[in-house]
A and B are shown apart, each in its own frame.
Chain A
Amino acid sequence: SAVISQKPSRDICQRGTSLTIQCQVDSQVTMMFWYRQQPGQSLTLIATANQGSEATYESGFVIDKFPISRPNLTFSTLTVSNMSPEDSSIYLCSVEDRRDSGANVLTFGAGSRLTVL
């Protein structure tokens, strides 16, 4: 499985500021995904980071709020812009891994826990 490094692992941010999360993978991957886990909630897909083109956002998420970069096949960033306390979450990077009996398996990074005051 791919090994994913995420930075920062945690941060405390002020309302109105922006923070960029980095995701580095130890091998080239086609598909990279950004998920969010709000406190007590499920993991929700924010967007698919596409190399060489704009990210594809899920319903309820917009590029102005969560701009994503994907400069190459091993790296991506997610920016959380103009943060409010509702953005306090764990943000997780994930990549395609393998198939298990036909199922597409994702590997996840350890996540970036953001607290917005």
Chain B
Amino acid sequence: DQQVKQNSPSLSVQEGRISILNCDYTNSMFDYFLWYKKYPAEGPTFLISISSIKDKNEDGRFTVFLNKSAKHLSLHIVPSQPGDSAVYFCAASYINDYKLSFGAGTTVTVRA
């Protein structure tokens, strides 16, 4: 049973523009949401997280928004750069638990 879903398998965006990645979840008990980035032949690397009690978290060019009533979160990348071309995974976890439930990922391609 997939509790975290990324319904867009791919996204193409022009360099300098905004990338918006979406993620939906079914379990309202999740305490944290995380985004990971993965380059080919490398493991996923942590990007940014947000607590379920917040609605926004920002780190440089990356901002995550959480809409608990809609069970939806999004990652905004502004401005998009060629090095942002990667697969982005949304994940969710409970407090005091290292286990992560992942979405299937969205492949982002940033065009020059």
Which of B43, B93, B103, B105 makes the CB contact (< 8 A) with A103? Answer: B93
Stretch from A12-20, A36-44, A64-72, A76-84 forming part of the interface with B: A36-44
- Chain B 49-74, CB within 8 Å of chain A: the 1/0 string? 11100000100000000000000000
| Interface of chain A, main secondary structure | strand
Find residues 98-117 in chain A having any chain B CB closer than 8 Å to their own CB.
100-111
Given contacts A43-B89, A101-B57, whether A106 and B100 have CB atoms under 8 Å apart is: yes
B contact residues around A97 at 8 Å (CB): 46
Q: Which size class do A's interface residues fall under? A: 20 to 34
Tell me the nearest residue of chain A to B2, going by C-beta.
A42
Among A43, A44, A48, A110: residue with most chain B CB under 10 A: A43
Interface residues on B, range: 20 to 34
Interfacial chain B residues near A33, Cβ < 8 Å: 98-99
Asked if B32 contacts A102 (CB within 8 A), the reply is: yes
Q: Is the CB of B89 within 8 A of A105?
A: no
Q: Nearest chain B CB to A20's CB is how many angstroms away?
A: 19
List the B side residues contacting A96 at CB < 8 Å: 98
Contact of B97 among A100, A104, A107, A110 (CB under 8 A): A104
B104 at the interface (CB under 8 A from A): yes
Closest to A45 in B: B99
Binding site for A on B (CB under 8 A): 2, 4, 9, 31-34, 36, 41-46, 48-51, 57, 89, 91, 93, 95-100, 102-105
The interface of chain A, by Cβ under 8 A from chain B, is 4, 9, 31, 33, 40-45, 48, 92, 94, 96-97, 100-111
